[in-house]
Amino acid sequence: MTTATPFHKILIANRGEIALRVIRSARAMGYQTVAVYSTADAASRHVLEADQAVCIGEPLPAQSYLRIDAIVEAARRTGADAVHPGYGFLAENEDFARACRDAGLVFIGPSPEAIIAMGHKAGAKQIMMDAGVPCIPGYQGEDQSEARLAAEAERIGFPVMIKATAGGGGRGMRLVESAKAFPELLRSAQSEALNAFGDAEVILERAIIEPRHIEIQIFADRHGNAIHLGERDCSVQRRHQKVVEEAPSPAVDAALRERMGATAVAAVKAIRYEGAGTLEFLLDQQGQFYFMEMNTRLQVEHPVTEAITGLDLVELQLRVAAGEALPLRQEDVRLQGHAIEVRLCAEDVDRGFMPQSGTLRLWQPAQTLRVEQALRSGAEIPPFYDSMIAKVIAHGATRDEARRRLLQGLHQTVALGVTTNQVFLGACLRHPVFAEGGATTAFIARHQDALLQPDAAVRERALVLAAALLFETAGGAPARPLLRRLAHRLPVGLLLEVNGARHSVHVAQTGPDHFLVTIGETEHGVALVATDTQGDAGRVRVVLDGVMESADFVRDGAQLWLHYAGQPVTVTDLTRSAAQRASDSGGDGKVRASMNGRVVAVLVAEGDQVEAGQPVVTLEAMKMEHVHLAPVAGRVLGLSVGVGEQVTARRVLAEIEAPVAA
């Protein structure tokens, strides 16, 4: 006989848009909510919107959102009787699920035993094979010696995938093309796995070349019922991190969906699973699918499933956790239309997708789409967490309608002040291979040059608009003596930097709010028709070369952020500044932090001789590691940081003394 586990107040052990997503459904069902937060998130929206909130510590080094004791204590202090882990941090942590159960709290997720069974890749794979689920040939044995793993890789045949058994998100994962490359990549994967998950154990699998990444959403209750809600295609990835997700998959027909869904349901019934979960498969080019792993939680990309099924998956989680039976059977599940989601991340695509942090000066999400976010203008993007800051989701009657709507929504989304991957996401959606439904896991790597190609025409027009705006709103653009020359309509020279490239621009005023902007040999006419400003931010209506359009902008001294033609553009007025110091490029031998982050490795010692390009210090920011290299060859003169230390962008990490030329 099954027992009910009613609850009344839910603590959400997560942050940001994840916590807000759970709050929304919980509140609609009549539950009170409790948020937890680190000191870095004290002013975050999830903290302000929950009924109650409890601070659980500093973001580093304790990683407050991972402090099981503090979270359980927060539940006790607020009278919460249930805990929702969100879909990150502790969502797949069996110790957390057990601690909640031991404290008398309802854990809104699977049992600790199920998390253990499916959270360890080697064990999960064995369970799936025993249940008759097709699995990728490989090795998941206890002998983790380099010699045994190398021998097993030879047996499997190259290329081979190395995967950390304890984790996900692409960490501890390496593709090995040859036996010669295996030892170094093995050590690299084991080191990353140990740092990320506290466990260096790996499994080996035969590499499936250019597959589709297909996942099946399942739900099961404690009454023995289990269903699937169709598939999602998550093939568009970069370094095993998902970028674009959609449902249903353009590569899965009704017959394949039924087979994969039935396989997933049989698998979760075999382990008496309860709650939401996702079975992830690789689909090869011959239509054969193989089990990859199971995520014992709700997925980041669950909104696309909600869009095509009309179901609230968080609501289903809460009902199942309270002991209710699933309110629908498999035959009740209907898939309507198509949905696509993109992950908006704070990262600089032009600098190797480096994570970014700082102040989001202006934030205006698309009003026509579902946008999962916890942002506002003036919000701080901290360096301690994942770089994803929002998800943008479109639904349409057809795949192409959903794609067009998503492109238009991205075009309307204004995110200024912190560099994001917004333009890159649009390039992915517009690429003909994606548009035709042909993207595999190799899509970004294969088409990266085209996806990263800047729109030179848009950048030049943005530069023209920026020159006029900087001139018009001048506090510090041209010096005052130059402004007096405008009475004679003489051109004023500006030195502007746009997304890292410098341009010499000349501006002449030809009438009230009318300008002639010259770049090289090309002249552009600009008229500022109307400017609606609030402080240093606003929207301008402009006629540029005879075409009227709008742009959003934020100004801070010599810095101007523009959202123009659906793209963010950063412009810096260097007219009155000295040339950028040579030290900025590392020519002085100083190794500077490229972002805010934590030092995870110091790879040299004082007095060492290093070569130019040799790794010196490794920083971790937003769950990614970034190796900083020696800018010159020479002797390490000094190190100013140690492992575990938190550093800010541009801080000197090490100094290298180059040999004096004879």
Contacts of 477 (CB under 8 A, 6+ apart): 470, 471, 494, 558, 573, 575
Local structure of 288: helix, strand or coil:
coil
Asked if residue 393 lies in contact with residue 369, where contact means CB atoms within 8 angstroms, the answer is yes
Q: Write down the catalytic residue from 222, 297, 459, 598.
A: 297
Q: Which amino acid is at 289?
A: F
The b/e string for 94-125 (b: 16+ C-beta within 10 A; e otherwise) is bebbbbbeebebbbbbbbbebbbbbbbbbebb
The C-alpha atoms of residue 159 and residue 136 are separated, in whole angstroms, by: 13
Burial 252-268 (b: 16+ CB within 10 A, else e): beeebbeebbebbbebb
Q: Which among 277, 564, 636, 241 has a CA at the least distance from the CA of 414?
A: 564
Q: Percentage helix, strand, coil, to 5, in the chain?
A: 30, 35, 35
Find out whether 589 and 508 touch, Cβ atoms under 8 Å: no
Q: Are 42 and 55 in contact (CB under 8 A)?
A: yes
Interatomic CA distance for residues 333 and 66, integer angstroms:
36
Q: What is the DSSP letter of 642?
A: -
Q: What is the 3-state secondary structure (H, E, C) of 31-81?
A: CEEEEEECHHHCCCHHHHHCCEEEECCCCCCCCHHHCHHHHHHHHHHHCCC
Map residue 188 onto helix, strand or coil.
Answer: helix
Q: Any idea which residue has 């466990």 for tokens?
A: 199
Q: What is the dihedral of CA 606, 612, 616, 619, to 10 degrees?
A: 150
Residue with tokens 């390009």: 613
Kindly report the three-state secondary structure assignment for every residue of 408-441: HHHHHCEEECCCCCHHHHHHHHHCHHHHCCCCCC
The Cα–Cα gap between 392 and 343 comes to 7
Residue count of the chain: 662
Cα–Cα dist 386/373, whole Å: 13
Structure tokens at 153: 């890789």
- Token readout for 197 is 């998950």
Structural Rg of the chain based on CA atoms: 27
Active site residue 581: no
Active site residues: 297
